[in-house]
Structure 1
Amino acid sequence: MNTNFSFIIESVDWRSIFLFSDNTEWETQVNQLMAFYYCSSPSNDIAFERFNSTISPFFNEFDTQEKIEFLLKNIELSYKLCNKENLKNNHQALRKHFEKFLPKEFDFTVYPQFNAQTLQETPPDISQLNKLD
């Protein structure tokens, strides 16, 4: 999976794999396989392609803290995924989705590369600049 550049599992194939599911353990295993597949991308272009075929269509399958943390851990370990501008929007969308399922106090700083990449950049409040004390 991580050395063959032409090896792409399409979303229709992932759907077929999920159809075999008969319990939550199977779903967890498939989620882990998806995370490994995405995070072992050998290049930025392959990562982008794999995100679009594997992660994006299945956001709703990452619906428990265990599944989310496994993906986050693997994204973090794959430093190249955290430092590519064209993956930034994808990871920001992931974070927004994850926040629906994680506790409010979830600490994204445990994943410093992912956290830094996905922090929403808020423009400074310039209304305060012209006020003198």
Structure 2
Amino acid sequence: MSDLQPPSVTGRDHALKIASEGEFLDGVFRVERYNHSLVDITPGSSSSSAPIIVTEIYPNKALQQIDEAIARVRRLNQDARAYVSAALDKRPDCEALERKLLHDNPGFSQVTYDLVINDAFAAQSTQLAQR
């Protein structure tokens, strides 16, 4: 599975591997990304995958650290959506929003930044197609 592909139920092992072997923030991002992909599973599908529980992957982290990491991942996602919206609208503040995305969300790997922007573009494309 390519890192830039949308997560899938079959990507659970991949998400767990990345989360357990990588940096903490990137791992929490991968778990949240995988768990979010479960929302898109059609009811009645044959999948028996369950959400990944962050506290089970990082038992040595305090609950406050995990909550803060999840909040940072959510902010990263929100900022990426703002950047992508500006890019698609060809707004003049697009480049400034990209710099702001990176500046306001330090500590993630380049792969995570690429993934979050890719996911935001994919989400916007889906929304536009449904209109």
Tell me which structure has the larger Cα radius of gyration: 1
The TM-score with structure 1 as length reference comes to: 0.31
Q: Normalised by the size of structure 2, how large is the TM-score?
A: 0.31
Q: Choose between structure 1 and 2 for higher RCO, CA contacts under 8 A separated by at least 6 residues.
A: 2
